[in-house]
Chains A and B, each alone.
Chain A
Amino acid sequence: MTPARAPASLAALLAALLLAAPAAAQQGFTIPEAPAFVFLGASPGDIARPTTARDLAVAIANGIDSTGRVQQGVAVDLTPWLLYPQAVTNATYRGRRGAFMLANTQISIGTVRPQGDTSAMQAAVALKTTLVDRSDPLASDDFVERLRAATGERCRDLVTPDGRPDTEARLACYDRQVDRVRDEWLQDDGHWNDLNVSAAVAVGGLFPESEISRLRYDRWAAWVTAGLPLGAKAGQVLVHGRFDADRNDMELGPTWTVGLRALVGSSRANVFVEALRSSTSDAPDASHGAWSGGVEFLAMNRLWLSVGFGSTFSTIADDKAELRTGLQWNFGDAPRFLEALAPTP
């Protein structure tokens, strides 16, 4: 294979893996990026991301027509600190828990028309935050000091012939230094598996006839994910929980989902075992879940591959413990289910 053909072949292989990946493999234990959309079962293509109060007001106003009816397809993903910008600097991010949480808080808002009802509108608002993340380099005094020492003035002296800052050269310089210092800090010093806890809550409402004045409560859900170190650098245990309150329009009780994942290795390659169980009161299939185990490795930048075995179990189907093998994929900066490690805004 010539070098020129290698990327094309690799892309074809990855596409094949993508198609072969079992759907369950793509359901992470992590909290969704925008919980309101997941809560509504929506995948909006056009998401407004306002960064000023004015933009937020416009986005919300666009979701209501002149007759006071809520519009379908509202999708807003908001980072609140951008509306109150004086609150977040690197010093406050490292030194104040409130600033850290604020910088990692996202609010998502969405609307969708409920199935079987052409006039009503469902809406949800969700808040997601990181409570603790000791694997976040930017929150570490040690990392920041190392980055300062490593970068020095070398990036700042890169200028164009006419004396302006050479933007591309400077960004490339910063990128290299950050990559190097972050890898040392995460891998060599074993911070990749440090304690992290994230949580989210979503609340849903229903607008009969889509009228904004007729809003009534529908249901709510909550997520929590915690990562705990397993030995100094050896591995990590992840615990994930999700609670979905019972719905007003269905004869079903609340749903509890609990997942547990243990991995041994590093943030680049590991052996894992995981289990996920979901229980819904009064449902025909009251309890179902899956377990699996295998190995996972970073194939290339932001692309993870895993191979393993596992099975599903259910209260209405036979609990066959048949083994299955497959390749699973995931895009991300960290292993599957470890997305909390990646610093996110």
Chain B
Amino acid sequence: MPVVKWQADPERPICVEMRLNSPLLVDAEVYVRQPGAAKWQRVWKSEFAEDVPAGRITITLDPLPAGAHLLLAAFFFGARKTQYRAEFRVHQPDGDLPAAEIEPITGTTGNRNSAAVEQELELT
């Protein structure tokens, strides 16, 4: 999945919206890598295999500087040949800058029981 570059205001908190739809169970997580850091840190995770309420999650993150990376991850699991759809929106509600443009991701678990959707963003 290509990294999406997104211009963000380093003074404002970041709002991450995930719409995760599927008959499958889902584990959703958000990771951050600060500029210059060697490792990613998991800053949020859904309750284990908890249903995402109405398929929608909204998380607010502390402001991040330019050069930081965000990783949005969703792991769908539970059955073969089952479809899923993941839609991510990253924005700053009170800011003037546009939201990150991320296309919805759809797929099927195929012959596996699980599938992963990962979207990385680089803040500029």
Asked whether B31 lies within 8 Å of A164 as measured between CB atoms, the reply is yes
Closest chain-B Cβ to A108's Cβ sits at a distance in Å of 15
B3-11, B73-81, B91-99 - the one binding chain A:
B73-81
Asked whether B83 lies within 8 Å of A82 as measured between CB atoms, the reply is yes
Q: Which residue of B lies closest to A99 (CB)?
A: B23
Asked whether A156 lies within 8 Å of B79 as measured between CB atoms, the reply is no
What is the 8 Å Cβ interface bit string for chain A, positions 189-214, against chain B (1 contact, 0 not)? 00000000000000000000000000
A171 contacts across to B, CB distance below 8 A: 75, 77, 112, 114-116
Closest chain-A Cβ to B52's Cβ sits at a distance in Å of 6
Summed over the interface, the residue pairs from A and B with CB atoms below 8 Å come to a total of 136
Is A165 positioned at the interface, with any CB of B under 8 Å from its CB?
A: yes
B79 contacts across to A, CB distance below 8 A: 137-138, 178, 182, 343
Is A162 positioned at the interface, with any CB of B under 8 Å from its CB?
A: yes
**Alpha-carbon separation in the docked complex, A155 to B48 (Å):** 10
Q: Which residue of A lies closest to B49 (CB)?
A: A148
**Alpha-carbon separation in the docked complex, A87 to B55 (Å):** 8
Closest chain-B Cβ to A305's Cβ sits at a distance in Å of 19
Partner of B116, one of A86, A170, A302, A343: A170
A 290-345 contacts with B by CB, 8 A: 302, 333, 342-345
- Residues of A within 8 Å of B, CB-based: how many? 46
- With A51-B106, A82-B106, A90-B26 in contact, is A167–B116 under 8 Å at CB? yes
Asked whether A85 lies within 8 Å of B19 as measured between CB atoms, the reply is yes
**Alpha-carbon separation in the docked complex, A175 to B116 (Å):** 12
B12 contacts across to A, CB distance below 8 A: none
Asked whether A103 lies within 8 Å of B23 as measured between CB atoms, the reply is yes
Is B85 positioned at the interface, with any CB of A under 8 Å from its CB?
A: yes
Asked whether B75 lies within 8 Å of A170 as measured between CB atoms, the reply is yes
- Residues of B within 8 Å of A, CB-based: how many? 47
What is the 8 Å Cβ interface bit string for chain B, positions 81-116, against chain A (1 contact, 0 not)? 111010100000000000000001010100111111
Partner of A178, one of B26, B71, B78: B78
Is B25 positioned at the interface, with any CB of A under 8 Å from its CB?
A: yes
Is B118 positioned at the interface, with any CB of A under 8 Å from its CB?
A: yes
- With A137-B78, A156-B45 in contact, is A86–B106 under 8 Å at CB? no
* Residue of A52, A86, A144, A182 with most partner-chain B CB within 10 A: A86
**Alpha-carbon separation in the docked complex, A100 to B22 (Å):** 11
B 22-72 contacts with A by CB, 8 A: 22-27, 29, 31, 33, 38-42, 45, 48-49, 51-52, 54-56, 71
Partner of B113, one of A86, A90, A148, A175: A175
Q: Which residue of B lies closest to A81 (CB)?
A: B21
- With A88-B22, A156-B45, A164-B31 in contact, is A138–B115 under 8 Å at CB? no
**Alpha-carbon separation in the docked complex, A79 to B107 (Å):** 11
Q: Which residue of B lies closest to A157 (CB)?
A: B42
Is A174 positioned at the interface, with any CB of B under 8 Å from its CB?
A: yes
A85 contacts across to B, CB distance below 8 A: 19, 21, 55, 85, 87, 104
Asked whether B82 lies within 8 Å of A343 as measured between CB atoms, the reply is yes
A 50-77 contacts with B by CB, 8 A: 51-52
Closest chain-B Cβ to A37's Cβ sits at a distance in Å of 18
Selected A-B contacts with CB under 8 Å, 22 pairs:
A79-B83, A81-B21, A82-B83, A85-B87, A86-B19, A86-B56, A87-B21, A89-B22, A89-B51, A91-B51, A100-B23, A139-B23, A144-B78, A151-B49, A156-B48, A163-B42, A170-B75, A175-B112, A175-B113, A342-B80, A343-B23, A343-B81
- Chain B interfacial positions (CB closer than 8 Å to A): 19-27, 29, 31, 33, 38-42, 45, 48-49, 51-52, 54-56, 71, 73, 75, 77-83, 85, 87, 104, 106, 108, 111-116, 118
